[in-house]
Amino acid sequence: NAWQTVNVTERIQSIVIAPGSQQLITSDLNGNLQAWDLLNAEQPLNADDFPQGNALASGGELLAIGLQDQIIILNQDGNGDLPAINSIGNNALLVFSPDGSLLASSSSGGKVAIFQYQDGQITELSSLIKEQATSLAIHPNGSLLAMGTARNVYLVDVATGKEVARIPHISTVNGVSFSADGSYLATASSRDLQFWEMSGIQQVKSDDLIGFACSYLYENFSAAQWEQFFAGEPYEPLCKDLLPQE
């Protein structure tokens, strides 16, 4: 098949394939959404058929459009049967899981939220606030969210919204993506494209954090150190298997 060229008048900031169709949806820097026929690169629909939006994501039978203070969800027929999701700030990053059952969003307010689509309803599963997200990806099995930021990639437990691993980078991580089988994570930062084997990344749940930290220590805090870090709290050894300092 020959390549088709889509002629646009403004810089494009987001592109998706509309669910269940042969249409390409684009969003420019002014938030204008347009549809293009993939076969002939022509516009079969008027731009007025779509609301303005800053970000796009497509998954399963749904199309998500990020706007100021809300996210609109359309089904494959283009109908907004689902209620809009209220999300304070400019919702500039959206991503679906491969099967369309999970949606992650990042707003200019710094909040990253994870939603579940089930039985025709969308509900918030978890959320977190860390550094401003610059890229997002959901693991194929739906267990992890990869979140790129200015200096790190965070792996987040989808169910709890808690960080389970962190991969430092030297510059802004503009792209993250899991392999189709979930075995690898690709990250794009500056001019570097790196691949990480998921089995080699140690994940630590919040319930295991103290035990994990204690595995790197050889003694507990002294009373003076405890007072420095936990002023006013009764002293107790954090690592039960380590001796207290004299």
Taking residues 81-98, what's their average pLDDT? 88
- 157, 138 contact by CB (below 8 A): no
How sure is the predictor about 128, in pLDDT bands with cuts at 50, 70 and 90?
very high
> Cβ atoms within 10 A of the Cβ of 29, count?
11
For residue 200, give Cα distances in angstroms to 180, 183, 185, 195. 17, 10, 11, 11
For residue 175, give Cα distances in angstroms to 79, 151, 167, 221. 30, 12, 13, 40
Instruction: State the amino acid at position 239 in one-letter form.
Output: C
Q: How confident is the model over 156-186, as pLDDT tens digits?
A: 999 999 999 999 999 999 999 999 999 999 9
User: Is the per-residue pLDDT at 134 higher than 90?
Assistant: yes
Least confident of 13-27, 164-178, 186-200: 13-27
**What pLDDT sits at residue 49?**
65
Q: How confident is the model over 91-102, as pLDDT tens digits?
A: 889 999 989 999
Least confident of 15-19, 56-60, 198-202: 15-19
**What pLDDT sits at residue 80?**
59
Nearest to 127 by CA among 103, 150, 149: 103
Average confidence score pLDDT of the chain: 86
User: Is the per-residue pLDDT at 245 higher than 80?
Assistant: no
**What pLDDT sits at residue 31?**
85
How many angstroms separate the CA atoms of 181 and 166, rounded?
21
**What pLDDT sits at residue 79?**
56
> Cβ atoms within 10 A of the Cβ of 163, count?
20
Contacts of residue 236, defined as CB under 8 A and 6 or more positions apart, other chains included, come to none
Strands (E), the chain: 12-17, 23-28, 33-37, 55-59, 62-75, 85-96, 102-107, 111-118, 121-129, 135-138, 144-148, 152-157, 163-168, 173-178, 184-189, 192-197
**DSSP-assigned beta bridge partners for residue 191:** none
How sure is the predictor about 243, in pLDDT bands with cuts at 50, 70 and 90?
low
**Does the pTM of the predicted model rise above 0.85?**
no
